[in-house]
Amino acid sequence: MMCDIKESDMDSNLLKVFVTVAKVKSISLAARELQYAQSNVTARVKQLEKNVGHALFHRIPKGVILTQVGEKLFEYAVEIVKKTDQAISFMHNIEEQTSLRVGSTESNAVVRIVPFLLNLHQDYPKMQLELFTGTTDEVTKMILDYKVDIAFVSGDPRSEELVILNEFEENIVIVEPKNRETPNVLLLFKKGCRYDAFVQEYYKQQGNTNYKVLEFGSYETILGCVKAGMGKTLLPLSIVEKLGYVDELHIVKLDVNVANIHTHMVCRRDYIPSICDYLKKVKLKD
């Protein structure tokens, strides 16, 4: 039996919901990410399934997985959603950069994001600004998925789809309690942070594999726990200075050849902001 599918049946909004559900493998998680009611997401999935004439998901106890037809449609849907988001962003900025969605690591947000946004607001007062924060892995995914226009990431970008617009040097340090013995405990940010991945590999190369890891959701908490003697961490010196812990902790600076983890401002190779020349010249003090 042949499927009679019209172009209107492949609505980009339906495809966006379909792609999100497929990625997170859950109706409820997709609803949370899209900020829709769960019933709305369910209805849109059913509508798309009705339009194409095939079930797109298998319902399983822990969520959903793609059917064979769903897997084939997914490849096309991802590209359609990306191109649609790219086209919308392009049209918003076709004559001038009227909006800019900025992704930033939490570490960069602590020391640079406020002066960066203030400078943008001053130089482009009519520009709409949006800020999204997360780990380097999370922010990289945002820009690859066209959810932000530029992003601040830690270390060299690991995708050929990204180009570097600007670079900000970081002095990487190991921070330990002052005047007391340091337990073999690493106090780290949540998974996906480039600094955390580096320090664990750094100690493994030194033969230290028996350390304990404690994860936290803020750098303020991490430094407070280091001061209290719970363990040690690795961070840019600028964060320690910004949060006022320089005189209260023992700081060991690492050679740049050992820990070259500078912050980079990046954008997609296929979508470079119209104000890229401005962004390349931005100078920010920590």
Q: What share of the chain is helix, strand, coil (3-state, %, to 5)?
A: 45, 25, 30
Q: What is the reported pLDDT for 180?
A: 84
Average pLDDT score over the chain:
89
Cα 11 to chain centroid distance, Å, stands at: 27
Closest CA to 269 of 165, 173, 183, 153: 165
Per residue in 216-247, pLDDT (tens digit) is 989 999 999 999 999 999 999 999 999 999 99
Q: What is the reported pLDDT for 92?
A: 57
How do the domains of the chain map onto residue ranges?
A: 7-91, 96-169+262-281, 172-253
The two tokens of residue 239 are: 């964060």
Distances from the Cα of 80 to the Cα of 30, 74, 75, 84, 270, angstroms = 18, 10, 9, 6, 15
The mean pLDDT of 257-268, rounded to a whole number, is 91
Per residue in 110-143, pLDDT (tens digit) is 999 999 999 999 999 989 999 999 999 999 999 9
Mapped onto helix, strand or coil, the DSSP state of residue 244 is: coil
The two tokens of residue 168 are: 């900000």
Per residue in 169-220, pLDDT (tens digit) is 999 999 999 988 889 999 998 888 889 889 888 888 888 888 899 999 899 9
Per residue in 24-45, pLDDT (tens digit) is 999 999 999 999 999 999 999 9
What residues does 164 pair with on adjacent strands? 266
> What backbone torsions phi and psi does residue 279 show, to the nearest 5 degrees?
-65, -35
Q: What is the reported pLDDT for 3?
A: 46
Closest CA to 248 of 219, 233, 227: 227
What residues does 235 pair with on adjacent strands? 173
Q: What is the reported pLDDT for 6?
A: 47
Mapped onto helix, strand or coil, the DSSP state of residue 160 is: coil
71 pLDDT exceeds 80?
yes
Dist. CA 88–CA 94, nearest whole Å: 10
DSSP-assigned letters across all residues of 93-137: TSSS--EEEEEEEHHHHHHTHHHHHHHHHHHSTT-EEEEEEE-HH
Dist. CA 139–CA 137, nearest whole Å: 6
**CATH code for the part of the protein at 7-91:** 1.10.10.10
Dist. CA 140–CA 27, nearest whole Å: 24
Closest CA to 235 of 202, 188, 191, 203: 188
Dist. CA 236–CA 278, nearest whole Å: 26
Dist. CA 243–CA 239, nearest whole Å: 6
- Identify whether the C-beta of residue 84 lies closer than 8 Å to the C-beta of residue 92: no
Dist. CA 205–CA 193, nearest whole Å: 19
Hey, what CATH class is 96-169+262-281 in? alpha beta
278 pLDDT exceeds 90?
yes
CATH superfamily of the domain spanning 172-253:
Periplasmic binding protein-like II (3.40.190.10)
The two tokens of residue 65 are: 């997985």
Which pTM value belongs to this model?
0.67
User: From the CA atom positions of the chain, what is the Rg in Å?
Assistant: 23
